[in-house]
Chain A
């Protein structure tokens, strides 16, 4: 049994592309749409890997429910209450895309070459697994970049979701034999955290008038 390498490579590159989109798009609703596309790709990737490792089907279904259905619904529900327009970030669109591309290239190359550094299992020699690790960490770093540089609170939550996507995707290469219940537990927790965060954000909208995180400056020193 071998992995369908072409499918996996395509999904991989598209996933990185959607991460950048999710961070950069000004319309919050469309950004969530980009996130949804990425979530569906993760589900697709998990199904692709499950050809060699059947228990991953449960992972794919869990990801479908939590990442592709519940999270975008929560996000869209909140955006309905807080508005679609994003508060502009400190870094403009142009420079931001450049930085994101650089991050992407650097991390992808780094992890691809050093995959054995991270996952010293025999499975790591397989190019599909190396790709998986590389894209997982790239999405992780892009998510972190989103959280640190975006000014709109909803965008930071999207960045957090990307971060989590990255880590959960890396589990495929690092812990393929982990019990499905463990992964279900992890995924549920993330969904609950996102739901809570969004609830707080609606509260912020109520009390501060917008989701601009720069306004959150009552507490300092």
Chain B
């Protein structure tokens, strides 16, 4: 395991955040400038992520700023996921945010002013998420996660109507309380390791890992409890999830894709980094995480089944899928963690894809209520195909990527002896298929809802569906060739799984 000093760890998050600030300062002058700055931000971040993955999958560790930033294979993997989805979402948003319904609602000058804020905050949001996954400092981890909440708070309230404001209020309030619990947990980690480590080193997660076994039992339990509640709130784990459906549904679609597809995963990463240091010495935490995962899965999909609003349905499905990730990480075995991490990238791709399809439906048909839509496949063939692929991916049907990660999690459960967990996971998979196929059928096939036969619904422009097609292609590709990710995922899992059986 060689440690290399590199500039990439700070480039990957300073560049997007910097372009965000630049956009705020000069973006008002022209939307072309704004577009170029956004493109630079996400492309550089994605490039840095790929470069880091190439260096780290062989086991090297990149560090910068005196070990304050530390990128191993797991962090590099997360940067690729975050930057990749942000790249697609940013491209999607360029055309999407010009949708006519929004222009009609608030007027073009207001939109122009707000769009500048939108892109500035969007890039800062991406930058803070990337910061969270490269930082090695336990307090800065808290700061980064809180910063993502701050950056996205106004994005959730973008439409500035009753629903958006309510969603944003709940979002900011619940997440801040939650993250304060995590702060307390991080401080406990720091205070418990400072007798054993010199000064500033006690802040670094890589060092805390080494001394976790020396913590008094009571502190470890309290720290774990606070960290799970804190980062779990951010990751959408039940019962701390109530902010999620509102925020993800009311935000503009590119932001929903980022919130559901990426931010939840970043919080799960923070949870994994801080709680897995206790795995070897306090094994009951694994059972707790598995139970929490199972509960989240079932609650999420149960709520999704009764939704009429497409975006809320997808949001509850996100809650459910995060349950899979937590359960996978909770197993603590190589297979379990591999499955959890694989599911992170698969769900990120599928959920972003699904949200973008729903956005396309909103763009073309003006509604996101299932009861008001119907028969769209004839007029929107590309969107229907992409949505269908996304549904299969999320439900874990072959040959999609979701099948590969879910089956890994099922096998991990069986191998570790947690048969009840595997059964719950399989059952939830079936329910997911039911809920999402019902939505797909009602919206794209079947007959248009009564009294709502709009003849002007047509396929969305290529600028919007091109991103969807890329993600759909990835869904199929990862399902047919899951081994393509093996080198990176293998290294990432090894960075995390201490109980490898």
Q: Which residues of A contact B (CB under 8 A)?
A: 117-121, 144, 147, 153, 156, 160, 163-164, 167, 170-171, 174-175, 177-179, 182, 185-186, 189, 192-193, 196-197, 199-201, 203-204, 207-208, 213, 216, 218-219, 221
Contact = CB atoms under 8 A, between A and B. Distances in A.
Interface of B: 139-140, 142-143, 146-147, 149-150, 153-154, 157, 160-163, 165-170, 172-173, 176-177, 180, 183-184, 187-188, 190-192, 194-195, 199-200, 203, 216, 218-219, 222, 245-246, 249-250, 303, 306-307
Nearest to B149: A193
Contacts of B194: 121, 175, 177
A19 to B, nearest CB: 16
B104 to A, nearest CB: 18
Given A118-B222, A196-B150, A218-B163, A178 B169 contact: no
B166 to A, nearest CB: 4
Contacts of A119: 191
A145 B222 CA distance: 20
A68 to B, nearest CB: 20
Given A164-B180, A221-B306, A192 B150 contact: yes
A196 B162 CA distance: 17
Which of A153, A167, A193 neighbours the largest number of chain B CB atoms within 10 Å of its CB? A193
B430 to A, nearest CB: 23
Contact of B150 (A117, A144, A178, A189): A189
Contacts of A207: 160-162, 165
Contacts of B163: 218-219
Contacts of A204: 165-166, 169
A174 B188 contact: yes
Nearest to A137: B184
A153 B161 CA distance: 17
18 contacts: A118-B188, A118-B222, A119-B191, A120-B219, A163-B177, A174-B187, A179-B200, A182-B140, A193-B153, A197-B153, A200-B169, A203-B160, A207-B162, A216-B169, A218-B162, A218-B166, A219-B166, A219-B246
Given A186-B142, A207-B165, A216-B166, A120 B192 contact: yes
B200 A167 contact: no
A176 B307 CA distance: 49
A78 B184 CA distance: 29
B218 A203 contact: no
A213 B203 CA distance: 39
A208 B162 contact: yes
Contact of A200 (B140, B172, B195): B172
Contacts of A199: 154
A193 B146 contact: yes
A213 B170 CA distance: 10
Of all A-B residue pairs in the complex, the 4 with the closest CB atoms, nearest first, are A174-B191, A216-B166, A219-B246, A182-B139
B106 to A, nearest CB: 13
Contacts of B306: 221
Given A196-B150, A203-B160, A160 B219 contact: no
Nearest to B170: A216
Contacts of A175: 187, 190-191, 194
A200 B165 contact: yes
